[in-house]
């Protein structure tokens, strides 16, 4: 679509005439089309709809079904990650509770040597926003926990020196069970995640910034969890004892931060934190026969997960380029534009035909004929390229996330506007292909 807008003949002629407002004129149409797309979208209410959306994106119904299953288990705000597997096929692994990517500091803390895990049942959780090295700072709270008879999970910036040695020696002797884990993240993000853990477990972050010192810590500052499982690389906190209202408040706070941020990276990290508190974590493990096939399959699954989440966020619309074409028709019928704006609208009107035209051409049909037919048939109906029939697209399971359709249009217009207002573009010159070598014996006489 960006190409159709930026390199349209009307756009070129307009710029030659000095029509510098053409880029703005193109953008004028975006709002009305987006509004029509929103009006067309239908909320995703069933597991089957999520499966259909993901299946189309991944071109694989098995992948679609697994993504729908994962979203059903962890909720719309849960995290779904995709990992490479050494085994062939697909596998879904669900994690209850909060999980973060930090493991035990010392393998001597392992309680299950077969699985190489440190498992703490009905444990206290000490959360500290500083390094712990001096055993004198740790002894007072250790004595209190030992008297309770419960194990202790320590999450701190770092645990080292004699403090770590004391924990290891007590574990080996069977005097006291504990596990030490480095806090996840860095800087302000680490502080925020420690606070998340504290709220989830009903504890308090011990930090000198708020006047709390480790040597003066009491049991009521510690969090609690039904189970803490720590591996070499990950820590999972199951059923923290945090107050439901406080957890809900923290979740709402993170949601507000997601709305405010302009950074995609920050938004992604905030969504991960939100999922750890409000949803859960699902891991789809993908395997394949070759390395190349594995990478390609993993990327398809990741794209399908994003599309499924987008469908849940803003609903679904008819796929196959139908929604875009029919939404633009409705929008342009309502717009009364003149001059440059009318020219910009005409350019966009032609550009939104591109996806459907391409689908028709791929199916061996005449693009222009298909576009004209779809533009004038019942709303929501379009071409099923697999059968060549015109059907109700949503009923036939040919759907797209409304968010993806809207974003595609906005991104295309943004890129095109950049080209239209650019004086010059620097591009790599294609290298000439070397001539094919002469056939052996080509100069010999026979």
What's the rounded Cα separation, in Å, for the pair 325 and 237?
49
- C-alpha dihedral sign at 57, 62, 65, 70: negative
Of 63-77, 213-227, 320-334, which has the strongest mean pLDDT?
Answer: 213-227
Based on the domain organization, do 125 and 209 belong to the same domain?
yes
pLDDT at site 441: 55
Look at residue 204 and tell me if it is in a domain: yes
50 assigned to some structural domain: no
pLDDT at 13 over 90: no
Strand partners, 392: 381
pLDDT at 344: 73
pLDDT digits (tens, 9 = 90+) for 142-190: 999 999 999 999 999 999 999 999 999 999 998 899 999 999 988 899 9
- Cα 356 to Cα 400: distance, rounded to the nearest angstrom: 13
Q: How far apart are CA 116 and CA 185, in angstroms?
A: 24
User: Among the listed ranges 208-212, 311-315, 422-426, which one has the minimum average pLDDT value?
Assistant: 422-426
The closest of 30, 28, 127 to 341, measured between CA atoms, is: 28
Nearest to 120 by CA among 230, 38, 277, 32: 230
pLDDT of 124 strictly over 80: yes
Helix orientation angle between 367-376 and 354-362, rounded to the nearest 10 degrees: 120
- Name the domain boundary from 227, 242, 257: 242
Pair of tokens at residue 191: 């502080």
pTM over 0.75: no
Q: Give the CA distances from residue 313 to residues 199, 309, 320, 340, 418, in Å, rounded to whole numbers and listed in that order.
A: 27, 6, 20, 35, 29
pLDDT for the residue numbered 289:
84
| pLDDT tier at 6, thresholds 50, 70, 90 | very low
Does the pLDDT at position 7 exceed 60?
Answer: no
**Together in a domain, 110 and 231:** yes
State the pLDDT at residue 127.
Answer: 96
Q: What is the pLDDT of residue 221?
A: 94
Q: What pLDDT is attached to residue 156?
A: 94
**Domain that includes residue 359, residue range:** 2-42+317-420
Q: Is 109 in the same domain as 231?
A: yes
Q: Is residue 311 part of a domain?
A: no
With a pLDDT cut of 70, the percent of the chain lying above it is 88
Count how many Cα atoms sit within 13 Å of the Cα of residue 381 in the half-sphere of its side chain.
13
* The pLDDT of residue 419 is above 60: yes
SS3 state at 284? strand
The answer on 176 and 105 residing in a single domain is yes
The pLDDT of residue 85? 83
| Res. 446 pLDDT band, cuts 50 70 90 | very low
CA distances from 56 to 50, 301, 397 (A): 10, 11, 9
Q: What is the predicted pLDDT for the residue at 159?
A: 92
Q: pLDDT tens for residues 269-283? A: 888 888 888 766 788
Whether residue 141 lies inside any domain: the answer is yes
Tens digits of per-residue pLDDT, 392-415?
Answer: 998 888 888 888 888 888 888 777
Residue 366 lies in a domain: yes
Looking at residue 436, what is its pLDDT? 57
d(CA 333, CA 267) in angstroms, rounded, equals: 37
Q: In the structure encoding, which two tokens stand for residue 408, read together? A: 């595609």
Instruction: Give the count of domains, the chain.
Output: 2
In a domain, 305, yes or no: no
User: pLDDT tens digits, residue range 127-138?
Assistant: 999 999 999 999
Looking at per-residue pLDDT, the higher value among 445 and 305 belongs to 305
Let me know whether 237 and 344 are in one domain. Answer: no
Question: Which of the two residues, 373 and 10, has the higher pLDDT score?
Answer: 373
Query: 91-100: per-residue pLDDT in tens?
Result: 888 766 788 8
Region 30-38: what's the mean pLDDT? 86
Report the distance separating Cα 263 and Cα 279, nearest Å: 22
Stretch 66-74: mean pLDDT: 88
269 lies in some domain: no
Residue 52's pLDDT is 86
Band of the pLDDT at 63, cuts 50, 70, 90? very high
CB atoms inside a 10 Å sphere around CB 409? 25
Of the candidates 242, 269, 292, which is a domain's last residue?
242
Same domain, 31 and 126: no
The reply to whether 111 and 10 lie within a common domain is no
Domain stops at, among 192, 210, 242: 242
- Residues in the chain, how many? 446
Phi and psi at residue 113, to the nearest 5°: -70, -25
pLDDT at 293 over 60: yes
- Report whether pLDDT(3) > 90: no
Q: How many CB atoms lie within 10 A of CB 333?
A: 9
Q: What is the pLDDT of residues 232-246, one digit of tens each?
A: 998 988 888 988 899
Q: What is the mean pLDDT of the chain?
A: 85
Residue 439 has a CB neighbour count (10 Å cut-off) of: 7
What are 158's strand-pairing partners? Answer: 131
Q: How far apart are CA 266 and CA 274, in angstroms?
A: 12
Q: Is 401 contained in some domain? A: yes
Q: Residue 107 belongs to a domain with what CATH number?
A: 3.50.7.10
């Amino acid at each position: 679509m960006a190409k159709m807008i930026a390199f349209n003949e009307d756009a070129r002629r307009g710029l030659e005439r000095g029509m510098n407002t053409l880029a703005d004129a193109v953008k004028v149409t975006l709002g009305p089309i987006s509004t029509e797309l929103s009006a067309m979208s239908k909320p995703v209410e069933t597991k089957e709809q999520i499966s259909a959306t993901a299946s189309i994106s991944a071109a694989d119904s098995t992948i679609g079904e697994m993504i729908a299953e994962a979203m059903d288990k962890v909720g719309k705000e849960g995290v779904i990650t995709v990992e490479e597997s050494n085994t062939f096929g697909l596998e879904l692994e669900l994690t209850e509770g909060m999980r973060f990517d930090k493991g035990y500091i010392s393998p001597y803390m392992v309680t299950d040597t077969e699985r190489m895990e440190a498992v703490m049942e009905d444990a206290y959780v000490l959360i500290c926003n500083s390094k712990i090295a001096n055993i004198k700072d740790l002894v007072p709270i250790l004595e209190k926990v030992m008297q309770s008879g419960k194990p202790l999970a320590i999450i701190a910036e770092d645990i080292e020196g004699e403090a770590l040695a004391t924990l290891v020696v007590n574990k080996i002797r069977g005097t006291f069970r504990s596990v030490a884990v480095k806090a996840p993240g860095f800087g302000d993000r680490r502080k925020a995640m420690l606070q998340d853990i504290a709220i989830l477990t009903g504890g308090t972050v011990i930090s000198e910034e708020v006047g709390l010192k480790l040597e003066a810590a009491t049991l009521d500052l510690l969090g609690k969890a039904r189970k803490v499982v720590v591996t070499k690389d990950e820590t999972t906190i199951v059923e923290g004892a945090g107050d439901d209202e406080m957890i809900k408040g923290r979740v709402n706070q993170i949601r507000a931060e997601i709305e405010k941020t302009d950074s995609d990276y920050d938004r992604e990290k905030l969504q991960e934190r939100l999922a750890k508190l409000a949803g859960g974590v699902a891991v789809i493990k993908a395997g394949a026969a070759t390395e190349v096939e594995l990478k390609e399959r993993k990327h398809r699954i990741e794209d399908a997960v994003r599309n499924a989440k987008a469908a849940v966020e803003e609903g679904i619309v008819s796929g196959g380029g139908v929604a875009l074409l029919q939404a633009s028709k409705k929008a342009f019928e309502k717009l009364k534009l003149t001059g440059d704006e009318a020219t910009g609208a005409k350019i966009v009107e032609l550009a939104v035909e591109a996806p459907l035209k391409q689908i028709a051409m791929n199916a061996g049909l005449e693009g222009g004929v298909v576009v004209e037919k779809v533009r004038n048939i019942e709303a929501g109906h379009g071409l099923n390229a697999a059968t060549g029939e015109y059907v109700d697209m949503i009923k036939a399971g040919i759907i797209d996330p409304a968010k993806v359709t809207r974003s595609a249009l906005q991104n295309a217009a943004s890129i095109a506007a950049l080209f239209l207002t650019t004086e010059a573009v620097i591009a790599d010159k294609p290298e000439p292909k070397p001539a094919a070598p002469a056939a052996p014996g080509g100069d010999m006489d026979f």
